[in-house]
Amino acid sequence: MSRKTPDVKQLGHQVSIPRSPDDAELERVANPHNDTYYAARFTAPEFTSLCPVTGQPDFAHLVIDYVPAKWLLESKSLKLYLAAFRNHGAFHEDCTVAIGKRIAELIKPHYLRIGGYWYPRGGIPIDVFWQTGTLPKDVWLPDQAVATYKGRG
């Protein structure tokens, strides 16, 4: 049995990767359990963007946790949105915080946090964290479980 999602345009259709994050359309679907507090997690271990100064690729492991309210984030649209960063020049902090803010604006969750675990640039790994809202009492939210960068040692 399939459920219709009339407002979703990308799921179930062949869609090209957007040219930029601004061109990407994030989509949402109704939360069938909006009377229940629970956490959902998206993990993007191969996120890529470009250094705005050198044009060299930057790589990160993103972890997005949220406690949905009325809306859920549709995963295919998220995948396409994140892929749009592959040709986008921005610093690590900008990418991480902008992604978190855009998702929060769309789905208006009770709580959202994003961890951007960036691989070294210039010999320095940069980890970026942003959150909004208050984690509801009794919601189990596990550690993001991404080890800090240890190099070859």
What are the sequence ranges of the domains in the chain?
Answer: 21-133
Kindly report the CATH number that applies to the domain delimited by 21-133.
3.30.1130.10
Q: Quick check: 47 pLDDT over 70?
A: yes
Mean pLDDT for the chain overall: 91
User: What local confidence, expressed as pLDDT, does residue 84 receive?
Assistant: 97
Each residue's pLDDT tens digit, 76-91: 999 999 999 999 999 9
In order, the DSSP letters of 108-148 are: --SEEEEEEEEPPBTTB--EEEEEEE-PPTT--------PP
Q: Select the more confidently predicted residue: 12 or 118.
A: 118
Q: Which residues are catalytic?
A: 51, 58
Strands 111-118 and 57-67: antiparallel
Average pLDDT over residues 54-75: 96
The band of 1, judged by pLDDT with boundaries at 50, 70 and 90, is very low
Q: What is the DSSP letter of 49?
A: E
User: What local confidence, expressed as pLDDT, does residue 124 receive?
Assistant: 87
User: What local confidence, expressed as pLDDT, does residue 150 receive?
Assistant: 73
The band of 9, judged by pLDDT with boundaries at 50, 70 and 90, is confident
Average pLDDT over residues 48-55: 95
